[in-house]
């Protein structure tokens, strides 16, 4: 058996990459400016990070373009790109403890969630796209005998990726893995709160054999570095995950620059619909609790509206409330902790603001509602449940992105569907019922990208993920993600 890990001691020994990674090298920002990278565990500055801006993004895009034009990656046989990506997946797994620590220190998630959840999923994602890319065939169109029409997929060129802080490396991997597999060069801007793991993985990518310049990471602020990437005239596509508000800005940036392809994975307000005929209420209650308290509720498809049939409201809420108590926030470096910190002071204030709004609008606070562990200097909020919520209330409409669960009751399946669809978001819905016909009927009526039935899983890398409505467009994960990072070319040959 492996010896237990003293994560605190490991955290004291870890080293941070604090510069931008451009053309295969760590470089300071062009202005020499840095910003404080603060740990939400205790509010201390972990390290000062190079603050990338327009000039740094331009350097990164030039490096990416040069590598693309030289064909050092794009022109390699798919089998060769596969070998490198599989090697990168192995390196990620080899450095799993280090990468998990970087995630935990940077954004506050429990260490075992980081290692056994995020980092494992990142390695799987990179391996999956590596393994996939040499098994995809192009097409020949049905033409008269006198012609041969080839339909081939080609990489786009330079792909920009702007990602959030809730799953720093995984959200990045959902973009860079398919983009690299398809033969593109990548410029990634991580969130200002959580740049550490992406900088380390870019370095590992070069170690695995990704040629310098193919994978670049520029840390910095959204308004400067993020906007510069969105507006760059030589970026062919921009893949974004984050808030709907910022997602819309990328459409504007594209329209005002070079009409680059934009794909958006934005917010959600997942309805978790629980019918009285649910086969196992305990499993459903665990799904409801984990669905909102995992990662402190900082999850785009968090089960953030509990829509429960009125017949079982009391018994079901009692079960979820009892489970919620096991999510009391604890030290993220303690392996027993189930719920860690909020990402930063701003997000903490924002979530507490929503809790106040819930109370002010007349919802009943059934559990929690306070900031805790303030003596640590970090940012922690109790698991919080609101009862008797109406769908028109702010806490049922806005993406809170915290451990806050509003509970809404319904009487008929039609009412449940109406409540679920009454949202500007359409990322995911969860259904719990014993009646398969009802489940299928409702699943078809829900305007969301993913419906889970009698589970909260939603599937791994093999299924697409993305939203309807203002949850965005384009799909991450699965072979469909490759559509975002390649063009179709028709070559029409006369053979008659």
Q: Which residue lies nearer to ligand NDP by CB, 105 or 133?
A: 105
Torsion of CA 455, 460, 464, 469, to 10 degrees: 50
Task: Judge residue 13's burial from the number of C-beta atoms within 10 Å of its C-beta, 0-12 exposed, 13-18 middle, 19 or more buried.
Answer: exposed
Nearer to ligand NDP, 252 or 418 (CB): 252
3-class DSSP state for residue 37? Answer: strand
Q: With DSSP H G I counted as helix, E B as strand and the rest as coil, what are the percentages for the chain, rounded to 5?
A: 40, 20, 35
The least distance separating ligand NDP from the CB of residue 364, rounded to whole angstroms, comes to: 24
Residue in the shown chain whose Cβ atom is closest to ligand NDP: 222
Minimum gap (Å) between residue 266 Cβ and ligand NDP: 5
* Cβ closest to ligand NDP, residue 304 vs residue 337: 304
HSE-CB at 292 with a 13 A cutoff on CA atoms is 35
Please name the residue ranges forming H helices in 71-119.
Answer: 78-94, 96-107, 111-112
Closest to ligand NDP by CB, 309 or 344: 344
Structure tokens at 295: 């990662």
| Sequence-distant (≥ 6) Cβ neighbours of residue 195 within 8 angstroms | 37, 49, 106, 168, 217, 219
Q: For the residues of 374-412, what is the DSSP string, one character each?
A: GGGTS-EE--EEEES--TTSHHHHS---SSEEEEEEESS
Of how many residues is the chain composed? 496
Q: Quick check: 335 and 321 in contact, CB under 8 A?
A: no
Task: Tell me how far apart the alpha carbons of residues 339 and 381 are, in angstroms, rounded to a whole number.
Answer: 9
Cα separation of 16 and 50, whole Å?
A: 12
CB of 402 to ligand NDP, least distance (A): 8
Catalytic residue among 103, 265, 382, 428: 265
Residue 267 or residue 403: which is nearer to ligand NDP going by CB? Answer: 267
Query: Which DSSP symbol is given to 224?
Result: I
Q: Is 154 noted as a catalytic residue in this protein? A: no
Write down the least CB distance from residue 245 to ligand NDP, Å: 7
Q: Output 226 or 369, the one with its CB closest to ligand NDP.
A: 226
Closest CB 350 distance from ligand NDP, rounded Å: 6
Q: Say which of 203, 300, 309, 382 is annotated catalytic.
A: 300
User: Which spans of this chain sit near ligand NDP (rule: CB under 6 A)?
Assistant: 162-166, 189, 191-192, 221-223, 226-227, 230, 241-243, 246, 249, 266-267, 300, 347, 350, 399, 401
As measured in angstroms, the least distance from the Cβ of 197 to ligand NDP is: 14
Residues taking part in catalysis:
265, 300
């Amino acid at each position: 058996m492996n010896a237990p890990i003293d994560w605190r001691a490991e955290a004291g020994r870890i080293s941070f990459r604090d510069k931008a990674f451009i053309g295969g090298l760590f470089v300071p920002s062009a202005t020499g400016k840095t910003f404080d990278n603060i740990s939400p565990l205790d509010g201390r500055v972990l390290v000062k990070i190079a603050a990338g801006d327009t000039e740094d993004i331009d350097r990164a895009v030039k490096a990416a373009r040069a590598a693309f034009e030289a064909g050092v990656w794009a022109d390699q046989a798919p089998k060769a790109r596969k070998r490198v990506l599989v090697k990168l997946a192995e390196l990620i797994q080899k450095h799993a403890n280090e990468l998990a620590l970087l995630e935990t220190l940077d954004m506050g998630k429990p260490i075992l969630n980081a290692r056994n959840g995020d980092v494992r999923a990142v390695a799987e994602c990179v391996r999956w796209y590596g393994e996939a890319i040499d098994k995809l065939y192009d097409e020949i169109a049905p033409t008269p005998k006198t012609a041969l029409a080839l339909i081939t997929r080609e990489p786009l060129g330079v792909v920009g990726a702007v990602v959030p802080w809730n799953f720093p490396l995984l959200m990045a991997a959902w973009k860079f893995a398919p983009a690299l597999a398809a033969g593109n060069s990548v410029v990634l801007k991580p969130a200002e709160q959580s740049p550490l793991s992406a900088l380390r993985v870019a370095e590992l990518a070069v170690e695995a054999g990704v040629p310098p310049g193919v994978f670049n990471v520029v840390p910095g602020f959204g308004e400067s570095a993020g906007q510069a990437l969105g507006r760059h005239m030589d970026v062919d596509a921009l893949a974004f995950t984050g808030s709907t508000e910022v997602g819309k800005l990328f459409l504007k940036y594209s329209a005002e620059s070079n009409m680059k392809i934009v794909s958006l994975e934005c917010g959600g307000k997942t309805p978790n619909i629980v019918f009285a005929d649910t086969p196992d209420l305990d499993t459903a209650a665990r799904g409801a609790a984990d669905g909102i308290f995992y990662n402190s509720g900082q999850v785009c498809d968090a089960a953030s509206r509990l829509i429960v049939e009125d017949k079982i409201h009391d018994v079901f809420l009692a079960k979820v409330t009892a489970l919620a108590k096991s999510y009391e926030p604890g030290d993220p470096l303690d392996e027993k902790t189930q719920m860690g910190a909020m990402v930063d002071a701003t997000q903490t204030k924002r979530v507490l603001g929503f809790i106040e709004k819930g109370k002010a609008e007349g919802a009943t606070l059934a559990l929690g509602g306070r900031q805790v562990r303030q003596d640590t200097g970090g940012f922690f909020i109790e698991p919080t449940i609101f009862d008797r919520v109406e769908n028109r209330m702010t806490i049922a409409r806005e993406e809170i992105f915290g451990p806050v669960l509003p509970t809404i009751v319904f009487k008929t399946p039609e009412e449940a569907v109406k409540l679920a669809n009454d949202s500007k978001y359409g990322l995911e819905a969860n259904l719990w019922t014993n009646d398969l016909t009802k489940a299928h009927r409702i699943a078809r009526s829900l305007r969301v990208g993913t419906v889970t039935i009698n589970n909260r899983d939603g599937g791994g890398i093999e299924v697409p993920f993305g939203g309807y409505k203002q949850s965005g467009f384009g799909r991450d994960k699965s072979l469909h993600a490759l559509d975002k990072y390649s063009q179709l070319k028709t070559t029409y040959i006369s053979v008659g």
